[in-house]
Amino acid sequence: MKIEKRVFSGVQPTGNLHLGNYLGAIVNFVEMQKEAPCLFCVVDMHAITLWQDPDELRASTREVTAAFLAAGIDAKKHIIFNQSRVDGHAYLAWICNCVARVGWLNRMTQFKEKAGKDRENASLGLYAYPSLMAADVLLYRATHVPVGDDQKQHLELARDIAQKFNSDFDEFCERYGYPDGFFPLPEPMISGPATRIMSLRDGTRKMSKSEPSDMSRINLTDNADEIAKKLKKAKTDPEPLPSDVEGLKDRAEADNLVGIYAALAKTDKASVLGEFGGAQFSKFKPALVELAVEKLAPIAAEMKRISEDRAYIEEVLKDGGERANEIASKHLRVVKDIVGFLQS
Ligand code: AMP
Ligand code: TRP
């Protein structure tokens, strides 16, 4: 049976959306819209694996929705919704928990980073986070998942869960009409020159929402002056830019800024170095500022405009949630049959 192409991805509503989220994920969401039906999910259930202030969670959920819309996601043709609206995510996550092995979850590096030294005191939800993520994707039988590089391991786990489910229940998948297994193995799409944007203050650390210094990241809500200030202050080294990509090796900060330029200009690092190879940062940085402001400031302005229309945002999420639920509940009925749950 031919499986229809379907795209799913998620972003957590926790704090500041930044350039890493934009270039690593959201830009690719916008591109994928041309190729297949897409679901873009604000994953509020993932967010609460670390305690969130409920009012801030609501505000961040609206903000991520506004960012999706401002970046150019079409909420009519595709689906934007918040995860908690569709009960199937939690339901299927339970089944994924029963398929996934403890040994698989023990290998997850993000859990180790987030739980830190006091692992005994981390929430069970934080540990099971990748299983919920697998459920998100599998619930829609999604085939393609655009994400940044840091989510690669989680998607491999989602594939392992899908594969084990299909093989544990092969006879039953077949009985209910799916001889090749019910879940397609989701394909991670980690592409472009900016799959891992680094901090502007330290080229060895990922740009992140949780980094205390706001100078380390460009927030999607930053205005032109803030963008310019942060890029001008961004850490560099004393050498001029190299003329080929090889020359960026061991120059984390230079590599990062060239990658950001390439991603914003929708080109690759080699072409950027073709233009700027041999130039000092004093020449490259103003060009980067100009490009970043040109590309990002309109998104910030549009986010602000959309954020003021709370009724519109709520309508997008409600309508998206209803359409997502239609797909989810259809799939979940089959999954329940396959695992042997009685239903009328
Ligand atoms: P999160 O904010 O953790 O929900 O991440 C949302 C999306 O942004 C995921 O696809 C991440 O892989 C991506 N992402 C987060 N930080 C970065 C970064 N520094 N560089 C590239 N992609 C990122
Ligand atoms: N874990 C992802 C992140 O932090 C967010 C996410 C949750 C996701 N569910 C997903 C991404 C499903 C892709 C598909 O970035």
Residue nearest to atom 18 of ligand 1 (CA): 20
Catalytic residue among 5, 114, 235, 295: 114
Q: What is the pLDDT of residues 46-103, one digit of tens each?
A: 999 999 999 999 999 999 999 999 999 999 999 999 999 999 999 999 999 999 999 9
Decide whether any atom of ligand 1 lies within 6 Å of the 152 Cβ.
no
Per-residue pLDDT band for 206 (boundaries 50, 70, 90) equals very high
Q: Is the pLDDT of residue 1 over 70?
A: no
Concatenated DSSP letters for 138-194?
Answer: HHTT--EEE--GGGHHHHHHHHHHHHHHHHHTHHHHHHTT-TT-SSPPPEEE--SS-
Catalytic residue among 5, 152, 164, 209: 209
- The torsion defined by the Cα of 332, 335, 340 and 343, in degrees rounded to 10, comes to 20
Contact between 157 and 174 under an 8 Å Cβ cutoff? The reply is no
Q: How much is the average pLDDT of 240-266? A: 97
Beta strands 144-146 and 79-82 are unpaired
Cα–Cα distance, 182 to 175 (Å, whole number): 11
Residue nearest to atom 3 of ligand 2 (CA): 11
Query: What is the helix (H) or strand (E) element at residue 81, kind and residue range?
Result: strand 79-82
Catalytic residue status for 318: no
pLDDT for 210 equals 87
Q: Is the pLDDT of residue 2 over 80?
A: no
Decide whether any atom of ligand 2 lies within 6 Å of the 12 Cβ.
yes
For residue 46, give the nearest of 158, 154, 129, 148 by alpha carbon. 129
Q: Is the Cα dihedral 213, 218, 223, 227 positive or negative?
A: positive
The phi and psi torsions of 82 (rounded to 5 degrees) equal -100, 140
Decide whether any atom of ligand 2 lies within 6 Å of the 151 Cβ.
yes
Q: Is the pLDDT of residue 139 over 70?
A: yes
- How many Cβ atoms are within 10 Å of 307's Cβ, its own excluded? 19
Residue nearest to atom 9 of ligand 2 (CA): 133
Which residues lie closer than 8 Å to 339 by C-beta, 6 or more apart? 95, 169, 172
Residue nearest to atom 6 of ligand 1 (CA): 11
Say how many Å lie between the CA of residue 163 and the centre of ligand 1. Answer: 25
Decide whether any atom of ligand 1 lies within 6 Å of the 41 Cβ.
no
For residue 339, give the nearest of 92, 102, 161 by alpha carbon. 92
Catalytic residue status for 209: yes
Q: What is the pLDDT of residues 304-324, one digit of tens each?
A: 999 999 999 999 999 999 999
Ligand nearest to the CA of 211: 1
Better-scored residue on pLDDT, 172 or 210? 172
Q: How much is the average pLDDT of 240-257? A: 97
Q: How far is CA 200 from CA 120, 207, 241, 260, in A?
A: 33, 7, 17, 11
- The CA-CA-CA angle for residues 255, 259, 265, to 5°, reads 150
**To the nearest whole percent, how much of the chain has pLDDT over 90?**
96
Q: What average pLDDT does the chain have?
A: 97
pLDDT for 15 equals 84
pLDDT for 3 equals 79
Q: What is the pLDDT of residues 112-131, one digit of tens each?
A: 999 999 999 999 999 999 99
Catalytic residue status for 114: yes
pLDDT for 24 equals 95
Decide whether any atom of ligand 2 lies within 6 Å of the 8 Cβ.
yes
Q: Which two tokens stand for residue 231?
A: 């890029």
Q: What is the pLDDT of residues 327-342, one digit of tens each?
A: 999 999 999 999 999 9
Amino acid at 43: V
Question: Among 17, 18, 21, 198, which residue has the most ligand 1 atoms within 8 Å of its CB, making it the best to mutate?
Answer: 21
Residue nearest to atom 10 of ligand 1 (CA): 147
Q: How much is the average pLDDT of 141-151? A: 97
Q: How much is the average pLDDT of 235-260? A: 97
Contact between 234 and 36 under an 8 Å Cβ cutoff? The reply is no
Helices (H), the chain: 19-21, 27-32, 44-47, 54-71, 88-99, 102-106, 109-115, 124-139, 152-168, 170-175, 224-233, 252-264, 269-276, 281-307, 310-339
For residue 261, give the nearest of 228, 284, 238 by alpha carbon. 284
Question: Among 147, 155, 195, which residue has the most ligand 2 atoms within 8 Å of its CB, making it the best to mutate?
Answer: 147
| Structural domains of the chain, with CATH | 7-195+310-339 (3.40.50.620), 214-305 (1.10.240.10)
Q: Is the pLDDT of residue 192 over 90?
A: no
Q: How much is the average pLDDT of 194-202? A: 96
